[in-house]
Structures are given as C-alpha cells and as structure tokens.
Structure 1
Amino acid sequence: MTTTEHRLDGAAVRSKRGMMTALARLLRFPDWFGHNLDALYDCLTDLSWLPAGEHVLVWTHPEVLATADPAGYRGIREVLADAVEGAADSDRPLKVVLVAPEN
C-alpha cells in the first residue's frame, strides 16, 4: 500500500474555520464540502478523489489553534480521531500526526 503525506503548517491557523479551509485546500476536498465538523468527517472518511493508499496528515504547530480557539481545536481533534477510526478499513485509510514544538 502506498503512503501519501500531507503536511499542514498550523502556525497561522487560529480558528476552526481557518483549519477547515486549510484542510480543504490541502486535501483537495470537493466543492460540496460544507465547512462544518460533520462535513469534515465525511470528507476525511471518503478521500475518493485522492489516490488509493494510506494518507498521513502531519499537522505542525497544533498548539497555535489550541491556544487561539480551544473549543475549535477540541472539535477538530475529535473529528480527526473519529475519522482515523472510521476510515481504518477503507482503501484510503487516514493517519494523523501532530507535531508540537520542541521545548
């Protein structure tokens, strides 16, 4: 199975809406993406517009969103975790890696 890495630089992502836009752009979501958590889950567990194989989302600087919009961060993290589980048996499984700054 091939693996495709998608790197999201979260240094400038300060809102849930901004994260939705960044994810939609990075993962080339279809035009029907509704920019809400349910639509995010639907897209992340589908990914049929991307090549088959594992897709790894590498999110750097997640602490920026966590600090600027704690509720938005929690919602996004919850959907990401659910989508990883929901897509596990598909031909396009999702893996998410959060990269926090080194202290």
Structure 2
Amino acid sequence: MTSMTAWIRPLTAVDTQPWTREEVLGSHCRTAQGMFTEWAAQLGFPDYFGHNWDAFLDCLRGAVDDADHELAVVVHEAGELLADEQPNVLAILLTVLSQAAGGNGTAPGLQLLLDDTPDRLSGLAQRMAEAGYPVDLGGGGDASASH
C-alpha cells in the first residue's frame, strides 16, 4: 500500500483502534448522488449540504473535525461503490477523501474501511488503481462479511 492510500484498507475482523465509526452501504452509493445522500444521512451532514463535491468535502472535513477520535467510514458492499459511474467519478471521490484524510496520509484523520467479499474487493481495487489510487485490498485480514 502506498502512503498516498495508507488511509484505505479492508475491514478486519477485529479492530481495536479507538475510532469514531460510521457505516454506509455501497449498494446505496452506486451513483454520486446516491453516495451523497447515503453519506449525508449516515454521517449527519447538515441540512444545507449541497450534494456536490465541494460541499461533500466541506461536510466530510467537519465530520473529521467533530469526531472524538479518528473517523473511520466503513463501506459495506464496497464493491458497489460508484459502480454505475464513469471511472473519473471514483477518482474524484478518492481525491476528496484523500484531502479529508489530511495531506500525505501519514497521520490521517480519516480511514476508509472496505467490507465485501474478496472477489468484489479485488474488482474495486482494480477500479481504484485505474483511477490513480493503487491499493492492496487483498491482505490485512478478513475483508469479507457474511455475503
């Protein structure tokens, strides 16, 4: 895993980190608009959230700042994340998340934890690499849930 993506990893069976943990469903995030709606609801974005990338980054930074500990967003059914969008939309999401994680990712305020079956995580890793964010989602523990 590169330092650029050190804040992205598979969800492990047992995590002992003192995270503020929020959970979203990738099946609700197949499009950018669906993702904005799901993340806004689950992370408690304010009512004035504008459902666009700039507003998403602002609200996500607010959620990171408001968290008691490092914020961990768990994406269940992660293989479906932006699956109905063009590849550049995943690149935009990963850039925004990287900005919210904080700079070079060495001490991120945000973790993206991905939960799905190994084959679906592999497909997501392929899409992430094509978007310019190579990440190893195959190692690091049990990344699958009861799918």
TM range (shorter): 0.7 to 0.9
| Residues 57, 100 of structure 2: 8 Å contact kept | yes
In structure 1, the gaps of 5 or more residues are none
Q: Is this contact kept in 2: 1:44–1:94, CA < 8 A?
A: no
Q: How does 1:22-101 map to 2 (within 5 A)?
A: 22-47=38-63, 50-70=66-86, 71-85=88-102, 93-101=109-117
1:81 to 1:99, Cα distance in 2 relative to 1, 3 A: farther
1: CA distance, partners of 2:42 / 2:114: 16
Structure (1 or 2) with the larger CA radius of gyration: 2
* TM-score (norm. length: structure 2): 0.56
SS in 2 for 1:26: helix
Distance 1:49 1:30, change over 3 A: farther
Residue 2 of structure 1 deviates from its aligned partner by 4.4
1:16 maps to which of 32, 40, 47: 32
Alpha-carbon distance in structure 2 between the residues aligned to 1:76 and 1:37: 8
* Percent identity between the two aligned chains: 30
Instruction: Give TM-score, length-normalised by structure 1.
Output: 0.76
Computed over aligned residues only, the root mean square deviation of the Cα atoms, in angstroms, reads 2.4
